[in-house]
Chain A
């Protein structure tokens, strides 16, 4: 069955991709699944210079989820292009690069270099809750976001431009609309929700960074609601994520209005989650007598 979907001018084999930061640069999971089968691989957030990230402990488990404050540890643009991208290029797979800058100029330089090397997509991370500068500064200020996207838009010619929105805002419709109006080809949501946990024995926060981003099944209802709201506000495709553990969850996101989905935390508990989700979506389409994933996306019985 043809499971392909379009994100802007980018055609994906199927609607299932990996969520940035949960799949490394693809290598770590290539022994568990055939990467060629994925709709796309979205790699860990890349910055111009390598970043060392936050001190440990960086993660802790919470009910039906986990908090992380990795702080965007990454190899930096140069090493990514030299060592990590060539590895992914060995596969017949769409590569989307999540990027983070301290200021508009850095976002432009990153997206230009990446566009020049021919990556398939660029995902603007304007929603990382765990780094002090950049990122969320743009993601929670409509004017700053509009300026950033329009500037980056000018330097991106070939790649599809995706804006990853923060759930840590009061109105996701408004931010989705800003992304669409400023030239984004698609929006992805949600990034993690800011949270905190305390060890009552030591009376210390469980994360060295004190706060972190919540992911996993715990955030799914919030993510579904936000995808649904965004889908009413914009015409560009939505990539939905947040607590997708299996095909049923992915289908729920598509019913809420997502054209494609990304799988994050589920990779940790089941390294084959993405593949099982693709199979499950196909089975659902068959069972419902549909012909394509697009039919799911259009199918919510609510007004």
Chain B
């Protein structure tokens, strides 16, 4: 079984004007992905764009592996034109994935926008009570709501423009929830994936309230397998304030998102 494999496109279904559900069928035996892991996918077989792009594992179906992606730049817009039956090459599953919550902890899953793609398989894998906080710009950018309702005990929805759920940012909704349930703070564990400003705001709150948790972060990638050192993020340096929370002797100042990540303990990342 190799993590570099070819796969046939089963479908590339637009869910709205910006997001597609992408289903592929590997043409050889592959390794089972864990929630939070990702794949490097070639948007087209060409030199321009040259590099593969990272996408979170979204779901395993009897047919194959699914991804949810947002059409963002050149690569993803070319990807949206891929058709059923075409063969592409992928590398994966890669990265560490989300650690399982320890006993007694209640998982709070916080997704901003397409971040839901990475957290949805976690919601599916968790057998315990979970809460999901999911925010997007507007109603039509909220994806897979029906599935999420089935997977979670409580789903908090919000949109920037108020077109569905509460009006506001997902981190604010989470903050309100935490303020209201302050007596339980130490029993929560946060799992978050979304745009960088959202993760940064969320980390602040988590550190203030001393809640444990994990964030899945993004950085440009070339190899995806830990060879090029291109995808690093800055982790715990001496200067940072919340030094008590960190284990001593942080040797590395930079860690690779593709290898040591993409999931990091909240207190590790230096924003």
Q: Of B222, B233, B254, which is within 8 A of A53 by CB?
A: B254
Given A28-B223, A267-B223, A270-B89, CB of A53 within 8 Å of CB of B229: yes
Residues of A within 8 A of B267 (CB): none
Question: Does B234 reach chain A (CB closer than 8 Å)?
Answer: yes
Question: Does B227 reach chain A (CB closer than 8 Å)?
Answer: yes
Given A56-B219, A57-B219, A73-B232, CB of A29 within 8 Å of CB of B51: no
Cβ–Cβ contact B50 & A66, under 8 A: yes
Cβ–Cβ contact B222 & A73, under 8 A: no
Binary contact readout B70-96 vs A (1 if CB under 8 angstroms, 0 otherwise) = 000000000000000000010100000
Residues of A within 8 A of B225 (CB): 28-29, 32, 271
Interface segment, one of A19-27, A86-94, A293-301: A19-27
A154–chain B nearest beta-carbon distance, Å: 32
Cβ–Cβ contact B232 & A268, under 8 A: no
Q: How many residues of A contact B (CB 8 A)?
A: 35
Interface size class of B (residues with CB under 8 A): 20 to 34
Question: Does B228 reach chain A (CB closer than 8 Å)?
Answer: yes
| Interface majority SS (helix, strand, loop, mixed), chain B | loop
Cβ–Cβ contact B50 & A267, under 8 A: no
Cβ–Cβ contact B228 & A68, under 8 A: yes
Question: Does A52 reach chain B (CB closer than 8 Å)?
Answer: yes
B28–chain A nearest beta-carbon distance, Å: 13
* B residues neighboring A (CB under 8 Å): 2-4, 42, 47-52, 89, 91, 219-234, 252-254
* A residues neighboring B (CB under 8 Å): 21-24, 28-29, 31-32, 44, 52-53, 55-61, 63-66, 68, 70, 73, 216-217, 245, 265, 267-272
A-B contact pairs, 23 of them (CB 8 A): A22-B223, A32-B2, A32-B225, A52-B252, A53-B232, A55-B234, A57-B220, A58-B220, A59-B228, A59-B231, A61-B220, A64-B47, A64-B50, A66-B50, A70-B229, A70-B230, A216-B50, A245-B47, A265-B222, A267-B227, A268-B222, A270-B4, A270-B89
